[in-house]
A and B are shown apart, each in its own frame.
Chain A
Amino acid sequence: MEKKAGFHSVLRYVASPLREILAQVPEQLKADALEIRIRQGRPLALVTSLGIVLISPTGQPEADPLKGYQVRGQDCRLTIQLMTRSSVYMVEDQLVQGFLTLPGGHRVGVAGSGYVEQGRLQAVRDLTQLNIRLAREVLGAAAPILPALVDGEGRFQSTLVVSPPGCGKTTLIRDIARQLSWGKPGSWHRHTVAIVDERSEIAAVWQGEPQTDCGPCTDVLDGYPKAEGIAAAIRALAPDVVVTDELGTRADAAAVIQAAAAGTAVLASIHGDSWEAVQKLPGGGLLAEHSVFRRLVILSRRRGPGTVEAVQLL
């Protein structure tokens, strides 16, 4: 499996004082980093699978929070400008949802001061808390289970990936979509795929182009609400497979049921740790009732993120 991580590729989007410090971080720590946390008035930090590592002004791990590099307001302001190409207004919808997408598929969680009008969050100001989540595209993550997700004629069967948070469900469905889109002669057809990517997590579209490898026959409906996106995909793009992440509401489930009724296979994920748990969710019960899915993949992080606990036929 090929892992794509990009510590160095995100450095150009952070303010130069931070960039200089992060460039001096030991190589092993760079390789292990999952997140870079930039918070005004607090120490610069990295998150690895082993925990939080504070970074000193010389780029070295530092145990004492007071001796870590204290991020300044101007570091945050310039970083936001570099990330948004000096055009915050272009990403205001994403900011309200709390994230930005960077080239390379990296995602940045952002928080600041909310501006509320008529009870709804309209804008976020003073973006002083940034959490860069480094993209970890694992090409081939789906290879061991994909043969079990197709029928004897190489056609993909509707599959639900059930996983607690942080177990690699997005990575898995992205790779399934990619491999279906490429096809594998003798194993499965080349499928036309439509990814409904409400939170830009699967394809990480940046300025109209997916930043992750989603395959050659894949359309991405970036930022569409799930239900509307699924309906639009079926109506306009005639895909063999519709892919979406984190089903939750009954409206999501209804859209998936409609897609299945139209003869389109569905690949989706949902939070949970078993089929029984999923059926207790508002949307999950509806999905079970309509027998939308033929395959169930249960994930955990027992042996690290992406551990496949079971592939079940429904």
Chain B
Amino acid sequence: MTGLYFLRFGLCLVIICASGAAGWVFSESIKERPRQLRSLQAALSRLETEISCSMAFLPEAFEQLARFTQPPVNRLFADTAELLLLGDVSIQEAWRQSIVRSREYLVLTQDDEEILLDLGDSLGISHREDQSRHLRLAQKALSRQEAEAQRAEEQLVRLYSMLGWAAGGALVLMLV
């Protein structure tokens, strides 16, 4: 009798913990988007420096970004650099392909992607001042997305964490 009691108690504990953990994981993914957007802005700011001050060619500039940007965002730049160094592909195409591939490891929204794709249309094809202008515009747009993501984060993270635990508790009550 005592054994069965302990088994039920253990099971309830597992359900509550699993549900709480699921809530936590979900809330972490909400936190991840602003982090990635911040990382992207920092990378674009560095790209602006590489173009206007270091006078680097884009394939090498993207290699630098891949080295100095935090994972997983650095993969976006590593993939683009790799495609450019293989040659025979335009920067627009290399950037677009890398963004499509990034859906596997980044948590960006369609609006975030649009900003990056728009930037890709201008990358490398004009003079330095124009490049800086486009990069700054993209940073500003990403910053707006980040602010919006941050607001969502504040509202939802606590909610999802709480919901996780609450849903676990509710499930246990129903089972009991």
Contacts and interface: CB of A to CB of B under 8 A. Distances in A.
B51 A78 contact: no
A81 B126 CA distance: 11
B88 A89 contact: no
A77 interface: yes
Given A78-B90, A81-B91, A87 B57 contact: yes
A82 B57 contact: no
Contacts of B123: 86
B14 interface: no
Interface string B17-34: 000000000000000000
Interface in A62-97: 77-78, 81-82, 84-90, 92
B169 interface: no
Interface in A106-134: 122-123, 125
A88 B124 contact: yes
Interface string B51-79: 10001111100000000000000000000
Contact of B90 (A86, A89, A92): A86
A89 B87 contact: no
Contact of B58 (A85, A92, A125): A85
Nearest to A74: B90
A87 B87 contact: no
Contacts of A81: 90-91, 124-125
A87 B124 contact: yes
Q: Give the one of A84, A86, A122 with max B CB within 10 A.
A: A86
Contacts of A87: 51, 56-58, 124
A81 B84 CA distance: 10
Given A77-B90, A78-B90, A81-B91, A86 B57 contact: yes
A280 interface: no
Size bracket of the A interface: 10 to 19
Contacts of B94: 86
A88 B57 contact: no
Q: Give the one of A12, A87, A122 with max B CB within 10 A.
A: A87
Contacts of B90: 77-78, 81, 86
Interface string B138-159: 0000000000000000000000
Contacts of A77: 90, 125
B29 to A, nearest CB: 34
Interface in B87-110: 87-88, 90-91, 94
A12 B128 CA distance: 26
A9 interface: no
A90 B90 CA distance: 16
B87 A88 contact: no
Contact of A92 (B57, B59, B84, B128): B128
A16 interface: yes
Interface of A: 12, 16, 77-78, 81-82, 84-90, 92, 122-123, 125
4 smallest A-B Cβ distances: which pairs?
A: A86-B91, A86-B124, A87-B57, A86-B58
13 contacts: A77-B90, A85-B57, A85-B84, A86-B58, A86-B94, A87-B51, A88-B127, A89-B126, A89-B127, A89-B128, A89-B130, A89-B131, A123-B127
Given A84-B124, A90-B55, A122-B127, 14 more contacts: A77-B125, A81-B90, A81-B124, A81-B125, A82-B87, A85-B59, A85-B84, A86-B57, A86-B59, A87-B58, A88-B127, A89-B124, A89-B128, A92-B127
